[in-house]
Chains A and B, each alone.
Chain A
Amino acid sequence: GAVVSQHPSRVICKSGTSVKIECRSLDFQATTMFWYRQFPKQSLMLMATSNEGSKATYEQGVEKDKFLINHASLTLSTLTVTSAHPEDSSFYICAHFSGNTIYFGEGSWLTVV
């Protein structure tokens, strides 16, 4: 079955630095990847939809200049949190549709200190 590999699983960074999170589709071509964020004790909220070869579509309230999404190939979508702040500390997870099934990456725990 389709597998989405997400890396890193955990990262700690200093405030003001940038962090890149990668999602790779291992055995299928992902034209679309969805990026979610989950704060502690809250639900998963859609941040943006990543489209291969075109600009990502961001949800209302998500800063596109802060959360840079790149989907340059059919097997890789990346989310870069720029100038990270402690309030960006969260669980970030990607997801992809393949057929009629949705596949999630393993998720990335970001802690900004």
Chain B
Amino acid sequence: GESVGLHLPTLSVQEGDNSIINCAYSNSASDYFIWYKQESGKGPQFIIDIRSNMDKRQGQRVTVLLNKTVKHLSLQIAATQPGDSAVYFCAENYSGNTPLVFGKGTRLSVIA
């Protein structure tokens, strides 16, 4: 079946730099995308979402970009902090009340 995937399994960045985590999705019918952060031993924590009628959405220090043409999603974290170290998952959804499909995850390590 169609699935969501990630280009980079690990990412190391210097504290204060910007981080970019990428995600490719294959289901063209998906109309809702979410980024989650998961710290060790905890469940996924919602970061930001975007719907398919948008190509950019900004939150606090985070920006999600959606490129429907190439089916690509990215999460940008500005001024990365040690507390941002975690595994980040993208997830996709379509047709409302259907389950989320998660990508494989990218581990972000922030170097102080």
Contacts and interface: CB of A to CB of B under 8 A. Distances in A.
Q: Do A and B belong to a common assembly? A: yes
Contact of B100 (A42, A100, A102, A107): A102
Nearest to B107: A41
Contacts of B42: 107
A102 B92 CA distance: 12
Contacts, number: 39
A95 B104 contact: no
Contact of B89 (A32, A44, A105, A106): A44
A97 B97 contact: yes
A76 B10 CA distance: 37
Interface in B18-42: 32, 34, 41-42
Interface string B100-112: 1111110000000
A46 B105 contact: no
Nearest to B90: A43
Given A102-B34, A105-B43, A45 B100 contact: no
29 contacts: A32-B97, A34-B99, A34-B100, A36-B102, A42-B104, A43-B89, A43-B102, A43-B103, A43-B104, A43-B105, A44-B44, A44-B89, A44-B102, A45-B102, A46-B100, A46-B101, A49-B99, A91-B43, A93-B43, A95-B99, A97-B97, A100-B96, A102-B34, A102-B46, A102-B100, A106-B43, A107-B42, A107-B43, A109-B41
Interface of A: 32, 34, 36, 42-46, 49, 91, 93, 95, 97, 100, 102, 104-107, 109
